Amino acid sequence: MKKRMGFLFAAVALMVMMLSACGSTSNNSSSATTSSSKKSDTTTQTAKTGNTQKVAAKSASTGKVVTIKVMAKDFEYDKKVIHVKKGDKVRITLQSNDGGHGFALPAFNVNIQGNKSAEFTANKTGTFEYHCSVVCGAGHSKMTGKLIVD
C-alpha cells in the first residue's frame, strides 16, 4: 500500500511539474516593433493595446516575402491578429522561450514546432485561425490567433 501511495504521489508531482513548465510570470508591457529587410520593401508594425495586439504586414502583393515573428509565451502569442495581402509570400518565424509550443495554420498547411520557420503563399482571402500545435499545458487551448488576408 505504501509503494502504491508513493508511486501515486510521484506521478502527481511529475504532472504538476510538466504542466507548470510552459508557464511563467506575465509581462503586459506595451511594445512597438518595426523591421525591414534589404530584400524587400516590407514593413511589419506591431502595436499592443490592452490584451489585443494587431500586426499589419504591408506589401504590394508583388510576391515579396513578408516575415512575421511570433513569440509564444505564457500560453499566448504576442500577435493575436496578423494582416497580409493576397499573393504575399509569408514567412512565419516562431520563437518559444518558455517551453514547447507550436504554430499551426491549417488553412495553409503550416505546422511549426519549436523555434523554426515556415513559408506559404497567401493565395486566398479571408480570416483564418491559428493555434498552438503542441500540447503545452493547462493554457494550451487559449493559444489562438487570426490571420487576415486582404
On whether the 33-149 domain is CATH 1.10.3720.10, my answer is: no
* pLDDT the model gives residue 40: 37
pLDDT score for 38:
36
Please report, for the chain, the start and end positions of each structural domain, with discontinuous segments joined by +.
33-149
How confident is the model over 69-89, as pLDDT tens digits?
Answer: 999 888 888 999 999 999 999
The Cα angle at residue 117 between residues 122 and 111, in degrees rounded to 5: 70
Tens digit of pLDDT per residue, the chain (150 long)? 666 665 555 555 545 444 444 444 333 333 333 333 333 333 334 444 443 344 444 444 556 789 999 998 888 889 999 999 999 999 999 998 877 888 999 999 999 988 899 999 999 999 999 988 887 777 667 789 999 999
pLDDT at 60: 47
Sheet of 110-113: strand order equals 32-36, 43-49, 52-58, 81-84, 144-149, 126-131, 102-105, 110-113
Q: What is the pLDDT of residue 76?
A: 84
Pair 110, 103: CB distance under 8 Å: yes
Q: Which residues contact 55 (CB under 8 A, 6 or more apart)?
A: 44, 45, 46, 68, 79, 81, 82, 83
Q: What pLDDT does residue 33 have? A: 35
Entry field: residues in the chain: 150
* Per-residue confidence (pLDDT) for residue 5, from 0 to 100: 60
